[in-house]
Amino acid sequence: MTPERYFIAQAYNNAWANHRLLKACRLLSPQELAAQRVSFFPSIIHTLNHILTVDWLYIGALEGHCPGAAAFEPEIPFPDFADLDREQRAADRRLIDHCRRLTSATLAAEVRIPRATHVQLEAADRVLLHLFQHQIHHRGQVHAMLSGTHIAPPQLDEFFPADPAEQALRRQDFNELGYTESLIWSD
- Block means of pLDDT (10 residues each) for the chain, 187 residues, are 94 97 98 96 98 98 95 96 98 98 97 96 98 98 97 92 93 96 87
What is the predicted pLDDT for the residue at 158?
Answer: 84
Residues near 27 by Cβ (< 8 Å), separated by ≥ 6?
Answer: 151
CATH number at residue 111: 1.20.120.450
69-101 as b/e: b if 16+ CB within 10 A: eebbeeebebeebeebbebbeebbebbbebbee
pLDDT in tens, 104-156: 999 999 999 999 999 999 999 999 999 999 999 999 999 999 999 999 999 99
pLDDT for 159: 87
How much is the pLDDT for 186? 83
| Residues whose CB falls within 8 Å of the CB of residue 137, separated by 6 or more in sequence, listed in order | none
Q: Classify 123 as helix, strand or coil.
A: strand
Supply the mean pLDDT for the chain.
96
How many structural domains does the chain have?
Answer: 1
pLDDT above 90 as % of the chain? 94
* Whether 59 contacts 48, CB under 8 Å: no
The dihedral sign for the CA sequence 111, 16, 9, 156: positive
**What is the domain extent for residue 103?**
3-185
Q: What is the pTM of this model?
A: 0.96
pLDDT at 11: 98
